[in-house]
């Protein structure tokens, strides 16, 4: 039996890696990639459709699919949380409703470690840990809300196999320019992330997070598509990243500092539209628990082939080199010449056709 897979939000970091994985998968006959803007990239088995999850009719695109993978998400504009809510939350609900209307038997949804409530960092937590993220960070609030939506969805539609993947931070070289635009903004010189140029790394209380390579995340999605599993799965590679490991990657010395001066600096820069990442995102990142990935390894049969340090090293190298890919979100030139396209949006105030993504 061959399968037809629809990927909603197919042109970003994970979507492109998943398409590459499915192109080599004999059980998948066809892939339909939905995105706001069709890319120049033409991988095997894949056809594209331009779709905005917040307004367009989704059911015709999902009809006949064996599995829908929902990856679509926007991080910007951080200064307009109603816009991110419309796309991320209301758009996701529209995707879930379309899955039912199109009678698709399986839904694989991209949740996140960011959905979890603050938790311990000295011991890992499994998928039963509460998904009640800090409410003032839009990303965590939206991810947590959708966990509740899916709780109700599964009760109302037990015929649909629902899988929730909760990865840590996902990196690859080709996503480096996009991630620099989304979180650091246009004022970060690419060469500044070269080892030895940053003398110190702030060793903040709570600075411990997990990461994985985009190709390893894609492998988890491939397995979730093919195997008859349900429920939530944590995804992360070893080791846990902290100030010491960041220092080793950057050739910098960890220095213990309290959170408040760093948060104050980020808050001031965000309010002045110098960086797109909000101080609330700093709060969320420092509250994340360390995840136990036993269920993904035992029930999904997943194990990462890259270390967390490999993934981090790739994205840092990609930022230095201005790396990207031939899709609108990953286009290294999406910010415009001299990054003027990023500057004119007010850096986190609003998005434009060149920087918004599905």
The per-residue pLDDT for 352 is 46
Domain boundaries along the sequence of the chain: 3-341
**Model pLDDT for residues 127-152, shown as the tens digit of each residue:** 999 999 999 899 999 999 999 999 99
Band (355; pLDDT cuts 50, 70, 90): very low
Tell me the average pLDDT across 65-92.
96
The per-residue pLDDT for 189 is 86
Closest CA to 68 of 113, 119, 6: 6
Instruction: Name residue 47's beta-bridge partners.
Output: 32
Percent of the chain at pLDDT above 70?
A: 97
**Model pLDDT for residues 98-112, shown as the tens digit of each residue:** 999 999 999 999 999
The per-residue pLDDT for 115 is 98
The structure tokens 């195997």 sit at 227
Strands (E), the chain: 3-8, 28-35, 46-50, 67-70, 106-110, 161-167, 169-171, 200-203, 208-213, 231-235, 237-242, 253-256
Crossing angle, helix 91-101 and helix 138-156, to 10 degrees? 20
The per-residue pLDDT for 195 is 77
Band (343; pLDDT cuts 50, 70, 90): confident
Task: Return phi, psi of residue 29, to 5°.
Answer: -90, -40
Length of the chain equals: 358
The fourth-level CATH superfamily of domain 3-341 is NAD(P)-binding Rossmann-like Domain (3.40.50.720)
Position 32 pLDDT exceeds 90: yes
**Model pLDDT for residues 119-131, shown as the tens digit of each residue:** 988 899 999 999 9
**Model pLDDT for residues 253-301, shown as the tens digit of each residue:** 999 999 999 999 999 999 999 999 999 999 999 999 999 999 999 999 9
**Model pLDDT for residues 228-249, shown as the tens digit of each residue:** 999 999 999 999 999 999 999 9
Closest CA to 251 of 200, 176, 313, 182: 200
* Burial class of residue 300, CB neighbours in 10 A (0-12, 13-18, 19+): buried
* Calpha distance 322→337 (Å, rounded): 13
342 vs 305, more confident = 305
* Calpha distance 221→328 (Å, rounded): 22
Region of 296 please: left (phi>0), alpha (psi -120 to 50) or beta. Answer: alpha
The per-residue pLDDT for 351 is 59
The structure tokens 């990953």 sit at 330
What is the average pLDDT value for the chain, to the nearest integer? Answer: 94
SS3 category, 217 = helix
Band (85; pLDDT cuts 50, 70, 90): very high
Band (344; pLDDT cuts 50, 70, 90): confident
Distances (CA, A) of 119 to 108, 126, 133, 231, 290: 25, 11, 10, 21, 8
Lowest mean per-residue pLDDT among 55-59, 124-128, 184-188 = 184-188
* Calpha distance 233→297 (Å, rounded): 9
Band (58; pLDDT cuts 50, 70, 90): very high
> The pTM is what?
0.95
195 vs 323, more confident = 323
346 vs 95, more confident = 95
Band (356; pLDDT cuts 50, 70, 90): very low
The per-residue pLDDT for 196 is 75
């Amino acid at each position: 039996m061959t399968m037809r897979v629809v990927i909603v939000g197919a042109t970003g970091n994970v979507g492109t890696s998943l398409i590459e994985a499915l192109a080599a998968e004999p059980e998948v006959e066809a892939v339909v990639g939905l995105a706001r803007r069709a890319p120049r990239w033409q991988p095997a088995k894949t056809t594209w459709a331009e779709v905005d999850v917040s307004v367009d009719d989704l059911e015709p695109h999902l009809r006949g699919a064996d599995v829908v993978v929902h990856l679509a998400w926007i991080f910007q504009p951080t200064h307009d949380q109603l816009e991110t809510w419309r796309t991320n939350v209301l758009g996701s609900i529209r995707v879930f409703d379309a899955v039912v209307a199109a009678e698709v038997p399986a839904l694989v949804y991209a949740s996140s470690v960011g959905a979890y409530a603050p938790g311990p960092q000295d011991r890992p937590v499994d998928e039963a840990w509460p998904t009640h993220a800090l409410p003032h960070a839009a990303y965590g609030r939206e991810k947590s809300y959708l966990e509740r939506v899916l709780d109700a969805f599964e009760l109302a539609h037990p015929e649909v196999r629902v899988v929730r993947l909760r990865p840590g931070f996902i990196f690859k070289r080709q996503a480096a320019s996009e991630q620099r635009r989304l979180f650091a903004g246009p004022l970060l010189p690419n060469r500044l992330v070269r080892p030895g140029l940053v003398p110190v790394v702030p060793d903040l209380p709570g600075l411990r997070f997990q990461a994985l390579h985009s190709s390893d995340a894609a492998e988890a999605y491939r397995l979730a598509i093919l195997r008859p599993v349900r429920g939530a799965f944590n995804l992360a590679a070893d080791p846990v990243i902290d100030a010491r490991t960041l220092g080793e990657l950057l050739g910098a010395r960890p220095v213990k500092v309290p959170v408040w001066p760093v948060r104050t600096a980020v808050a001031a820069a965000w309010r002045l539209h110098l960086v797109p990442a909000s101080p609330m995102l700093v709060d969320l990142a420092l509250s994340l628990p360390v995840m136990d990935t036993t269920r993904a390894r035992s029930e999904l049969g997943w194990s990462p082939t890259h270390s967390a340090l490999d993934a981090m090293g790739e994205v840092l190298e990609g930022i230095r080199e201005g790396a990207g890919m031939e899709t609108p979100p990953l286009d290294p030139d999406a910010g415009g010449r001299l990054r003027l396209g990023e500057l004119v949006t007010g850096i986190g105030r609003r998005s434009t056709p060149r920087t918004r993504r599905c």
